[in-house]
Structure 1
């Protein structure tokens, strides 16, 4: 292998490709990236470089331009190689070449020798067929529900986003059991729903991607990047059963003002898990909370014409739920102080917060 790269291009490719790589591994090759270069067909234009990182559950491959004198592939320590590239001066041209079990890296007067491992030892989790393929802006679909993903490993099937088709549209759902978010996207053909792991959700490339799904894995492909991941092997709960149908006490509040008021009253409590009480009366909502000798209260204008109601929520859930919406006004539909409340802003996102005693 003999090739050279612009430093900025190499850093751009290394960023996503190294995300799955963990420095400490019982399998040494998993600490490495797979670096592969291919010359152009005409021998005149730039060739291509691909960089792949994996942890056996996620595999990310990025591709870009390189000047390739001799094709080849090698696996090299991901962190060390990325650190070297990052510490070289801006605008540097980086040349790589191989010797037996060694990668030589040169830039200007700097020279490095890094040990390598056999390419054939590098695992490939992309083998196998996919059941369905389509295009969609999946990152935009997932973004509003990410906050509701669980990190409780005992309920591993909640530690991700349930990606499926409902009512003829793509839908993303996430829940901790205390808060739930559901976001609908464009029309789509039916496919068997999958649970995308929480570690993968923020790695989905932005914009339109080609999505391929099967019962065991999912692939998100865009120009210059491919993300392949195993899906969570579990059954997602019937989330629609917890969505209330009869919440007829409806309040409309300025979303930014409500978020700011929640943040202010939360100042006096020492834990994000503390409750804030929302007291709705005609034309107003009062937020209040207390912790030992500390008390706070804030009042906002609200569109509300039903019977007065007091309902408590965890301050952290209120903050993260309101942040997921983009509309100016949020609608809160309630039934009674012990039942979950529905949050909407007129768009495709629906959120539910379970109440707390106050």
Structure 2
């Protein structure tokens, strides 16, 4: 194999594929990136961790088609340190890869391409497209609520499912994530082709890699899936992932429908107030108390080690007064996702889940469990 590629193109492509590769691998070839030069003047780079696979195709000057695999992180580090604008020549033969750029020469060990594992996609019957911006919105507004607890592995991703919706919305695609303390859900119109889509849980790592790739995509993303695999077609990159084999809980049961106390508040001043008083909150509990009175909201923190803090924030509230506690970080995560200048906080009592949304037509909805303070 022999090909020449512009350093910037190589670096950008490697930055996408190498982040899939785990730093520590018991199987040596999983540390490698597969590089395939084709006679049509393209270079295909591919990496996998056996659950997730990314393939990116870029333009290159190919003198001799062929393929090999080489350490992904080493090649990425080399490309990063090469002079800007340089042409990088890659030549592979006899278990070695020679990399030449300007006066720099590197000779790396390679492993045969035939040993490189591929994710067998099988049949992916469901196929639809979503605008890249919609997919970004779905990810950004839900992924902070993905659980990191490995024991509840079925919560370690974003749950995607379609429903018939109601007379005002029509059929919808819903994305939800929860860690048991908070829940985030985004609803978008159901795309054509997603009618018979199975319920799927897309793993956290796939979501993270997909979000990085989306920054460079305009237009639509092709999504194809089966009950066990999902594939995203993004311009010149293809991301394939296994799905989480588990059942996502019926989260609609925790979305409160009868919370009768309504607080309307500016999310920015609310967020800043919470952030300020939480400065002295103890790391372990991060508890902030919210005392509600008519049009007067007082945020306070009492910390045995540090002392106390309080701040009044403006808001519209006309129901009976009471006190409720929240984990400050969870509350800030939700408030950080709100774009508008007014949010609705629907409350019931100090022990019941609280519903937060911009208004009753917004696509995103959040539920936060209170804490005892």
Report the TM-score, using the length of structure 1 for normalisation.
Answer: 0.96
Equivalence for 1:142: 139
Q: CA deviation at 1:140?
A: 2.3
CA distance, structure 2, for counterparts of residue 35 and residue 95 of structure 1 = 13
Contact kept, 8 Å, 1:289 with 1:296, in 2: the verdict is yes
1:303 to 310, 316, 332: 316
**Are 1:322 and 2:328 an aligned pair?**
no
Contact kept, 8 Å, 1:139 with 1:202, in 2: the verdict is no
Render the CA deviation track for 1:183-236: whole Å, top value 9, x for unaligned: 112323331111111111121132521011111111111111111011111000
1:1-358 equivalent positions in 2, closer than 5 A:
1-40=1-40, 47-136=41-130, 137=132, 138-166=135-163, 167=165, 168-188=171-191, 189-190=194-195, 191-204=197-210, 205-206=213-214, 207=217, 208-271=220-283, 273-292=285-304, 294-346=307-359, 347-358=362-373
Contact kept, 8 Å, 1:272 with 1:315, in 2: the verdict is no
Contact kept, 8 Å, 2:99 with 2:105, in 1: the verdict is yes
Render the CA deviation track for 1:316-355: whole Å, top value 9, x for unaligned: 1111110122111111001111100000013211001001
Render the CA deviation track for 1:244-284: whole Å, top value 9, x for unaligned: 11001000111000000000110111216321111111112
Q: Any idea what SS the aligned residue of 1:200 has? A: helix
Farther off after superposition, 202-211 or 276-285: 202-211
Contact kept, 8 Å, 2:143 with 2:177, in 1: the verdict is yes
Structure 1: 5+ residue stretches without partners: 41-46
Count of residue correspondences? 352
CA distance, structure 2, for counterparts of residue 24 and residue 322 of structure 1 = 36
CA distance, structure 1, for counterparts of residue 66 and residue 188 of structure 2 = 42
Equivalence for 2:168: none
Q: Alignment RMSD, CA only? A: 1.2
CA distance, structure 2, for counterparts of residue 127 and residue 174 of structure 1 = 25
CA distance, structure 2, for counterparts of residue 81 and residue 150 of structure 1 = 33
CA distance, structure 2, for counterparts of residue 143 and residue 214 of structure 1 = 24
Structure 2: 5+ residue stretches without partners: 166-170
Contact kept, 8 Å, 1:182 with 1:349, in 2: the verdict is yes
Render the CA deviation track for 1:23-54: whole Å, top value 9, x for unaligned: 321111101000011122xxxxxx11111010
CA distance, structure 1, for counterparts of residue 292 and residue 282 of structure 2 = 25
Q: CA deviation at 1:126?
A: 3.9
Contact kept, 8 Å, 1:148 with 1:179, in 2: the verdict is yes
CA distance, structure 1, for counterparts of residue 204 and residue 92 of structure 2 = 37
CA distance, structure 1, for counterparts of residue 139 and residue 162 of structure 2 = 14
Report the TM-score, using the length of structure 2 for normalisation.
Answer: 0.92
Q: Any idea what SS the aligned residue of 1:286 has? A: strand
